[in-house]
Structure 1
């Protein structure tokens, strides 16, 4: 075989070797990936009633030529993994089971979340997870701990149902001589999730200085939620009372001093009276 022929054959073999090696290099450069187990699913979907546990599996595929250590976590929904830290060998797929726990008092509806996988170099990938919570929708709330404190009315709102609430408040206050405050229902700028308690304040800058009042708060929300709570308060101008008391005490003290300074009228001597009696008897 001539030299040119040998050289041409060597170039061809080198070119074929490069062609054969190219896919392997490309696969090695792809690194690792994460997806729902079983294939064919772009994301996770779980559906259940409050208090149930839903199970699924996530796959981590390592296409590199070396092991990869990864950590798994969940966002948006409560997720527990069979093993949250694993080592995936080279050119291997690891399937990790996990459980989604639906909270006991969760409101019906959809909750978005994700499964997140992160390696030691800081690289991360995630897969969306949608949790659909079933069950009846219940709208209920209570008004608690109503009190008058200074120039404001304080109270607590508690969501006793299974749906988010945007409450509406009306305020009515009666005094000794009639109505002092009557505020029409208005929507509060708060959102009350299921099971949540909020401490709120209603301003009352022009409350009376002297009165006995009865306060009534009525709160309602969509879905038929409604509750009423009452409280009583007594307003006394203690500054004026203290000044009046001091004046009374001062007046009494002055009267005592004047009485002590008044001159006393001397009593007639007993001896003189006795002598007068004897003289009178002698004349008789």
Structure 2
């Protein structure tokens, strides 16, 4: 019995001994230096392009070439649908005249394809990839034969003309703190970022804490938010160190989005969300309790 196994899509060279290949945008005269396919088009447009597949291994290889849709994984990574899932977005708009190619070692094949944008395509970004897959039969440690499908892709981003919405939203935020009773605390802030617009976005996140009267607390955290496709979410956790337990505190996340395609000329507006939590100043509470106890004792009438 032979089992089919599809390995997760990778955008690097395939990690199989003796088998190595690359997939990149190409043209009539070979690779064009583009890192990925990027287009701007109107509904009804047709785009013609070429993908280059290079056999970097020592043996002849046969590739299955096809296109599919992209999505963000739970950790925010860019990924493509597995071969057993049918695309219903930009991957279904791409047509190739041929799908199977045999390439000698050290050689490249340039494969033309067309992208037909539907008349009813929605404005905004549509992301996918053009893949070259190789199926190899391998034997497991238990002696079972499996067909392993390894894939490498060139990313493809297509922006359909029309109204665009650029919106990143922090739709969930929590804050907790830990540390000694006396001294500074560490505040952990977890927050989920969702792309509620219709174009892919990256962002810079600034995570900070404040006490009453916007008194800055601790050392803020900064991070780069990876590219999020429309409708995708990812949860991050950052730490703010050196926070004084000053009673009611506010933890906040400020997102400054950016369009990685550079097709949006205007500067995008930042958005901020915050949450209030308590970091009890036990030293102060203890001191107040001691003072109160002493005052209470002083006020007690003397016994005869």
Q: Shorter-chain TM-score: which interval?
A: 0.3 to 0.5
The structure whose Rg is larger is 1
Higher strand share: 2
Q: TM-score, normalised by structure 1?
A: 0.42
Work out which structure has the larger RCO, using CA pairs closer than 8 Å and 6 or more positions apart in sequence: 2
Q: TM-score, normalised by structure 2?
A: 0.39
